[in-house]
C-alpha cells in the first residue's frame, strides 16, 4: 500500500525532471519546456521508508519511463543516479533518485515479477483518514514468455537500462514499445488511458548460476 499526502512540492517532480532529463543519454527529445505527465504507478517498500514511483512522461514525441525513489536522506554510493532534492510540505526534505540505482527498487520489482503485486494500491492521507486514490496506470506481470532476439532497430532493442537485482537480471525499457511487443520470460506490462495494447516496462530473467 502506498500512502500519498496532499502536499506542496518545491520543486515539483516535473520541474526536477526538466533539469535532469536533458543530460540523460536515452532522452531523445529536443526540449523539456512542454514536459507532461502521462500516467504513473507505484510499488510498495515493505519497510515503509522509501517511496517508489514510476512516471511516464512525454513532450509529445514519445512516452518515456522514469522510475524514481524518494528518500528521507541521501543514498550512499548512488550519486550517479541523483535527480535532485525536493521540499515536501508534509514529509520534509526528500532526496530523489533514478530508481535503477536504488536497491529498494530492484527488490520490489523482483518481488512483483516473482509473484507479488504488480503495483501498490494507492491511498491519500486526508486528516489521518486513508481514502483510495484513482490510479492513472494499471500494471500486471506476465510469466513464462518466450525470449525473442530483438532485431536491429527494434524498439525493444534500444533505450534499455540494466537494473541490478538479486537472483534476477532486469532490463528497464526507457522508451516503451507502444506497439505491444513483449520480451520474456518475465515481463511487467501496463496500460493507461488511451494506450492499448499493454506495453512492456521491464523484462526479467532468472539467473541459473
User: What is the 3-class SS of 93-136, one letter each residue?
Assistant: EEEEEEHHHCHHHHHHHHHHHCCCCCCCCEEEEECCEEEECCCC
Mean pLDDT throughout 15-24? 94
Nearest to 176 by CA among 153, 201, 154: 201
Give the chain's domain count. 1
Query: What digits encode the pLDDT tens for the residues 79-121?
Result: 999 999 999 888 889 999 999 999 999 999 999 999 888 898 8
Question: Cα separations (Å) of 162 from 81, 129, 156, 174?
Answer: 13, 39, 13, 10
Question: What are 50's three cell numbers?
Answer: 522509501
The sheet carrying 168-173 orders its strands as: 138-143, 186-192, 195-206, 168-173, 160-165
Q: What is the pLDDT of residues 129-140, one digit of tens each?
A: 777 778 899 999
pLDDT computed for residue 121 by the predictor: 83
What pLDDT was estimated at residue 32?
85
Other Cβ atoms less than 10 A from the Cβ of 127: the count is: 6
Q: What does pTM read for this prediction?
A: 0.90
DSSP letter for each residue of 165-198: ETTEEEEEESS--TT-----SEEEEEEETTEEEE
For the stretch 25-80, pLDDT in tens is 888 877 788 899 999 999 999 998 999 999 999 988 789 999 999 999 999 999 99
Range of the domain at 152: 2-206
Amino acid at each position: 500500500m502506498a500512502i500519498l499526502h496532499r502536499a506542496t512540492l518545491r520543486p515539483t517532480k516535473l520541474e526536477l525532471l526538466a533539469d535532469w532529463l536533458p543530460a540523460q543519454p536515452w532522452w531523445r527529445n529536443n526540449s523539456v519546456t512542454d514536459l507532461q505527465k502521462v500516467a504513473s504507478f507505484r510499488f510498495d517498500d515493505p519497510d515503509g521508508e522509501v517511496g517508489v514511483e514510476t512516471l511516464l512522461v512525454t513532450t509529445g514525441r514519445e512516452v518515456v519511463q522514469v522510475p524514481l525513489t524518494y528518500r528521507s536522506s541521501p543514498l550512499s554510493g548512488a550519486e550517479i543516479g541523483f535527480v535532485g532534492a525536493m521540499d515536501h510540505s508534509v514529509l520534509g526534505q526528500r532526496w530523489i533518485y533514478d530508481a535503477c540505482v536504488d536497491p529498494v527498487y530492484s527488490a520490489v520489482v523482483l518481488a512483483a515479477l516473482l509473484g507479488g503485486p504488480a503495483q501498490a494500491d494507492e491511498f491519500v492521507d486526508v486528516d489521518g483518514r486513508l481514502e483510495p486514490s484513482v490510479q492513472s496506470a494499471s500494471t500486471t506481470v506476465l510469466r513464462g514468455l518466450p525470449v525473442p532476439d530483438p532485431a536491429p532497430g527494434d524498439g525493444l532493442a534500444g533505450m534499455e537500462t540494466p537494473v541490478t537485482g538479486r537472483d534476477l537480471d532486469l532490463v528497464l525499457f526507457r522508451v516503451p514499445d507502444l506497439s505491444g511487443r513483449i520480451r520474456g520470460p518475465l515481463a511487467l506490462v501496463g496500460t493507461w488511458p488511451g494506450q492499448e495494447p499493454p506495453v512492456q516496462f521491464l523484462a526479467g530473467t532468472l539467473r541459473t548460476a
